[in-house]
Chains A and B, each alone.
Chain A
């Protein structure tokens, strides 16, 4: 257990949605776990917090990454913004660093235009983690369709990778390609 590893190498990223949240756990450059957790009617935030706590206890991450909702033009609902605050408190309770990443930083990490869609980033991620994410890539959303629940997995993975890029743990080329992966 005494292998020397870079600081903040295990990242838990959470991407809340109306039906629950998507999560991704990156250990170094290895995607250790990913998925969605759904919640039922009632106190959705309390259910989400309890499920995130289980993930924290299982993976003991160094950092929890969330999307930054503080900007004035954010279009996230009040509940999701409240959940963000509750998750930051949860991270603090477990002595984990909490970080928030804005959409602009995600676009910068992936070197895509500001107009790029979530699907464009999801496709990049599916290429970056072909074994893990290709079979979870949802079809491209049409204007009359609501967002696929699986998109939350890609949102969370993008957050985790962008955080590592912002921390200079990985380079731009490593955001795009899975070369030099330990596994």
Chain B
């Protein structure tokens, strides 16, 4: 079972006071810490678990700036066998469709049984790349996958539905699955583990090597344009409590008591 897993380098934004950058269409990334997209981490873990059980090869692919090498190296340390990084300044500003075009161009000559991606990305959260990539490769796909069972030439997967329901599917390979978080418990990747793969080759491809022209990627090759990024206007009904932790706790319990919660 040969598996391709597509991963993305994203900023860690929890508890950070994000600032909109000068263009008004992005965020200031100064001082931000980057790492692998959380959903993609589950996808890499799932790919490695399938390989450990059924044999085969796992290839991790990322599209992004040169710094993205960190996330593919981490995937190698987690258990991926090969890594590919498609990086080219001309690809900057690509939307999900353009990113999927780059991934499809990288993947089209590779042999694989299944492709895994994260269900969506921590940063822009479009959830587009997986499904679009499957369409471009003309293979079936299932989104929000919470379990994968491999059978010969077929894969049985479960999908998360609304209302607490699940859906079981039987899918012919090759196929693409976008992985929901919680499908597994990703293992820890140690610093020693990352050091051990420091010399492993990461195939680095520019646009030319991928076989795409500049007009197929970046803003020109995209269908969606960001007009602006902004913090939503402060709405009504929210109250910010101020004071020491004790004072705030007292205010909260007062509100709960008045509202009949406790």
Pairing of A with B: no
Measuring CB to CB, which residues of chain A are less than 8 angstroms from any residue of chain B?
A: none
Q: Which residues of B contact A (CB under 8 A)?
A: none
